[in-house]
Amino acid sequence: MKATIAVLPGDGIGPEVTAEGVRVLRAVGTKFGHGFELREALIGGCAIDRTGSALPAETSALCRAADAILLGAVGGPKWDDPNAAVRPEQGLFAIRRELGLYANLRPVTTHPKLMAASTLRPEVLAGVDMLVVRELTGGLYFGEKKRTADRASDLCEYTVEEIRRVVRRAAGFARLRRKKLTSVDKANALETSRLWRHTTREIVHKEFPDLTLEHVLVDACAMYLMRKPSSFDVIVTENMFGDILTDEASVLAGSMGLLPSASLGDGKRGLYEPIHGSAPDIAGRGIANPYATILSVAMLLRHSLGLAREAAAVEKAVDAAIARGILPADVAPAGTPSASTVAAGQAVLDAL
């Protein structure tokens, strides 16, 4: 098949890990006979420096025309002023909004070779295999914001339709897995969460009666993720809760450098990125973990291009590289040599 893929390396370690994702995409194209056209563009801090905008018009146009988007990361100390009129994260928020990418998928699994990288006991980590579906374009991050000298507010707002569409996506994935859906909210305190819970119950009971649905308060969910993470199958939740819980869930895998994500809308086009940030403290040192980006490439192949066999091959290659002990610094056991970004990427290519 032929496909156009927009590549947005971004800031910090973004260009380093994205380069390994691009190498894998090219290898998949060669091995399986696909024609991938990879076109690079600016987003985030580097885009502000070059154009004055976190999402230049050229980048936006490329993303709208592409079949999929691969993103590195945005932000860094250079652009950290919260009072700045233009900030790197605005580019990310804007592209999600423009493309209607309302469902963020974050799979979390554990690898036997990496049990020691987590701070949790191996028996707690056994059998962890979950998918968190985070609503991505509503809630506090996108609500009206006000600030005066002595007061500030952020509006958390959701419509029934915003909740319905993300719950339907999550329930669809649960139907293909172990048929259990956990909806996370704060319905004991927030009206938005009460609407969320009511709407979720209505959708699942009417359209997905084959699923087991449970409602869990966000604070309890945070505790259960650490105490009994294998009890979760698919979790669906609102924007800020999902952001926080998936960062917490990275402890299960051992590092943020291992977790990919996909941001999807109603069509096939999606944006794919590791869940980690730009990690400016290690940028340019060649030690960033590329596995999350490469696994994001696998999600790109599966969800946007419909290439399930190729996606599985990439995932198997990452598993093989980890099993060989090719471990970047964030997951390598203390006192042992760690793999560079390029070496980890090459290990995946060798396995592929």
Q: Could you give the CA distance from residue 129 to residue 66 in angstroms, rounded to a whole number?
A: 31
> Any idea what DSSP says for residue 4?
E
CA distance 295 to 261: 8
Per-residue 3-state assignment (H helix, E strand, C coil) for 82-110 = CCCCCCHHHHHHHHHHHHCCCEEEEEEEC
Residues 6 or more apart in contact with residue 160 via CB below 8 angstroms = 195, 199
**Lookup: tokens for 179:** 């048929």
Give the H or E element holding residue 349: helix 341-351
Question: Which residues are designated catalytic?
Answer: 141, 186, 219, 243, 247
Tally of helices (H runs) and strands (E runs) in the chain: 12, 12
Q: What does residue 37 show for φ and ψ, rounded to 5 degrees?
A: -95, 115
How far lies 194's CA from each of 107, 132, 208, 238, 247, in Å? 26, 20, 20, 12, 24
Strand partners, 145: 154
* Whole-number Cα distances in Å, 27 to 22, 36, 214, 219: 9, 10, 42, 43
Cα–Cα distance for residue pair 90/165, rounded to 1 Å:
24
Phi, psi of 4 (to 5 degrees): -105, 125
* Phi–psi pair at 9, nearest 5 degrees: -65, -40
Name the residue with tokens 């493309």.
99
**C-beta atoms surrounding 52 within 10 Å:** 10
- What tokens were used for 48? 């502000």
Give yes or no for a contact between 120 and 224, defined as CB atoms under 8 angstroms apart: no
Q: How far apart are alpha carbons 124 and 84 in whole angstroms? A: 43
- Residue 333 is given by DSSP the state P
